[in-house]
Structure 1
């Protein structure tokens, strides 16, 4: 069994009376795809984004048994007025619920909320759960603010209370330190690292010990940053027992690596050596298969590089399917 825990959806259209700041999905002559028009975004969305039958066909072709579907990241427009952001989120969430209801054993949905208004975002979580969605996707920053900022703590506290999963998708923030052409590569890696680090450094991980949170693309550079944080906390290399008098920033309670091992991370890191490092540092029970499909093509078959690591069968099963259900809070089905 294999669960793709990082796949995306797009609604095929939007209400005729939607606010002008909403996206549009324009027809493409002679094509089953549609064109997403949203601000500066121009994106050809193939029909697998919004057609359940096509998604199942693609799953079968790639050896995928189920997908966790989250909104395509350009929809996470926190620069919209909060009321418009909420209206957009509700439209997307309604479609996500309808799409997943077409094949509930193969499609699991995540919604979205207007994080530009943390109180409204927290209040909307119950409606997300009531629609049958298993959690929400949020961006790695909110208008440049770290998600670990204390203003977002009530949102994470409510997600924990409602037992909803949170998926943090790396999204570029405004920066002039790298060219715009690096937004999908290096900037995404930086953003994932900043998001995960902020959840620890900002106190959210301590305040929400039961929060089920996952980071896209293994949280970028975070897995290489956290051993340094561990050294500052413990004063030793290689996660040896802490020597507080040698530490630079020791605090009581869990270490940075202990916090990091509460999170989940998708394995879309493009290299078997990087995958091996994630298994060794963070643990096989923290990893999820992800693909970004259909925005990006999957490996063929799905999980090919992961399987090349020659992991023990029970370890491979953790990563390919069991961890995804644990993250979502779903009782795992028997492997088939």
Structure 2
């Protein structure tokens, strides 16, 4: 059994009277796909994005039994006025809830909120829960501001209070350090790492100890950054017992690795060696299968590389199935 915790959807259509800043989905002649038009974006979305039957067919072809569905990340348009962002979020959330309700044994949904206004976003979380969605997807930054900034703490605290999961999807922010051609590669990896680090360094992880957070693409380079933070905290290598007098940034709270091991990380890292490292550093109970489907093609069959790295059966089952439901706060169907 396999649960894909990182899969995306797009609504098939948007209201005819929607604000001019809303996306549009236009027919494609002779095809079941539709063309997403959103600002400068032009994206041909095949029918698996919005058609439940087609999704189920493609899941069966790849060996996927369950999907955690979240909005296609470009819909997280934090540059919209907050009112328009809320209207867009409600439309997308209604579509997500309807699609998931078509087969709740196969789908669970994550909604979206206008995080450009943290108060509005926090207030909308109850409606997300009441719609039957298991949490929300957010971007790794809000118009260039790290999500660990204190202005977003009330949002995370409310998600924790309501028992909602939060999926952090890496999204580019403006940078002149790398060329635009790297926005989908290196910049996304940097953004995931910055998001995870900001939640620890900014205090959100300490203040919301029961918040369930996951990161797309294993939070990019975070797995190689956090051992350095551990060294500064402990003064020792290899997670040996801390020597506070040798540490450069010691405190009496949990260590950076303790915080990092509260998060979940999806397995879309494209290399068996990276997966082995993440299992060793973070623990098999912290990893989720993730594919970015259908925006990116799945490994065929899904989870193929995970199954090649010699994990004990219990650890493999955690990653393939049980951890996704722990992240969602749901009892896992037995496999």
Normalising by structure 2, we get a TM-score of 1.00
5 Å-filtered alignment, 1:1-336, equals: 1-335=1-335
SS in 1 for 2:18: coil
Aligned equivalents of 1:66, 1:53: Cα separation in 2? 13
SS in 1 for 2:168: strand
SS in 2 for 1:7: strand
CA RMSD of aligned residues (A): 0.4
Structure 1: segments with no counterpart, 5+ residues: none
Deviations 1:64-123 (A, max 9, x none): 000000000000000000000000000000000000011110011000000000000000
* Cα displacement (A) at 1:40: 1.1
Aligned equivalents of 2:40, 2:176: Cα separation in 1? 18
SS in 2 for 1:304: coil
Deviations 1:288-328 (A, max 9, x none): 00000000000100000000001111110000010000000
Deviations 1:112-168 (A, max 9, x none): 000000000000000000000000000000000000000000000000000000000
* Cα displacement (A) at 1:177: 0.9
* Cα displacement (A) at 1:247: 0.2
SS in 2 for 1:291: coil
User: Would you say how many aligned residue pairs link Structure 1 and Structure 2?
Assistant: 335
Deviations 1:21-67 (A, max 9, x none): 00000110001000000011111100000000000001100000000
Moved over 4 A (4+): none
* Cα displacement (A) at 1:212: 0.2
Aligned equivalents of 1:306, 1:44: Cα separation in 2? 30
Aligned equivalents of 1:88, 1:251: Cα separation in 2? 43
Aligned equivalents of 1:127, 1:227: Cα separation in 2? 39
Structure 2: segments with no counterpart, 5+ residues: none
Aligned equivalents of 1:314, 1:167: Cα separation in 2? 25
Aligned equivalents of 2:280, 2:310: Cα separation in 1? 14
SS in 2 for 1:231: helix
